[in-house]
Every structure is written in structure tokens, then in C-alpha cells.
Amino acid sequence: DIQMTQSPSTLSASVGDRVTITCRASESISVWLAWYQQKPGKAPKLLIHETSSLESGVPSRFSGSGSGTLFTLTISSLQPDDFATYYCQEYNTYSLTFGGGTRVDIK
């Protein structure tokens, strides 16, 4: 099975900061990677699929890049609404493996 490793697990940042979260796959998944945002007590929300395709309605400050085994989610200027936990997910196989999550909190 593919393993997905996110780093860091926790990130403290301020409004306006540029934030980067990394996701590493244990084997190549081409570009079949998605990113989700989850707030406490809520269901996850799909932000990006196919590595870099932004979902409709997602602010352009979010972007994704990478291929193969290394991927990044970047928030260009962190906003108050962005404090949440972020998960990567591979969908190269039938089992959709999630990363362990990165919690972004207020510094």
C-alpha cells in the first residue's frame, strides 16, 4: 500500500504569512493527489485535485504543485479563515490513502 507522509504535523503562523505544507508518497502517484481542508467538527473540504487544479470557489491564494512522490500545498498569504487542518490524499489506486494531516494554528 502507498504511504503518504505530511510535514510538518503542526505549523504556527501569522496572518499574511506564506505557508507551505509538504506531502511525500512512498511510491510514484504521478499527479493523482488532492488536498483537503478540515475545520473542527466539520467535514473535510476538497481544495485541490490532480496536484494543482483548484476547486471552484477556492481562493487563489491556495496552490498546489509537484509530481511523482513529492507535493506541496502553498497558501500565499494566510488569512484568518485558513486556520485549519490540511490533508493530502493520493488516488492513484483504489485505496485512497490520506496523509496524517497538518494543523495550521495561530502563532
Partner 1 sequence: QVQLVESGGGVVQPGRSLRLSCAASGFTFSRYGMHWVRQAPGKGLEWVAVTIYDGSKEYYADSVRGRFTISRDNSKNTMDLQMNSLRVEDTAVYYCAKGIGYNYGNPLDTWGQGILVTVSS
Minimum CB–partner distance for residue 14 and partner 1 (Å) = 25
Minimum CB–partner distance for residue 91 and partner 1 (Å) = 5
- Whichever of 17 and 22 has its CB closer to partner 1, that residue is 22
**CB 47 within 8 Å of CB 36:** yes
Does residue 91 interact with partner 1 by CB under 8 A? yes
Does residue 5 interact with partner 1 by CB under 8 A? no
Minimum CB–partner distance for residue 34 and partner 1 (Å) = 4
Does residue 101 interact with partner 1 by CB under 8 A? yes
Does residue 37 interact with partner 1 by CB under 8 A? no
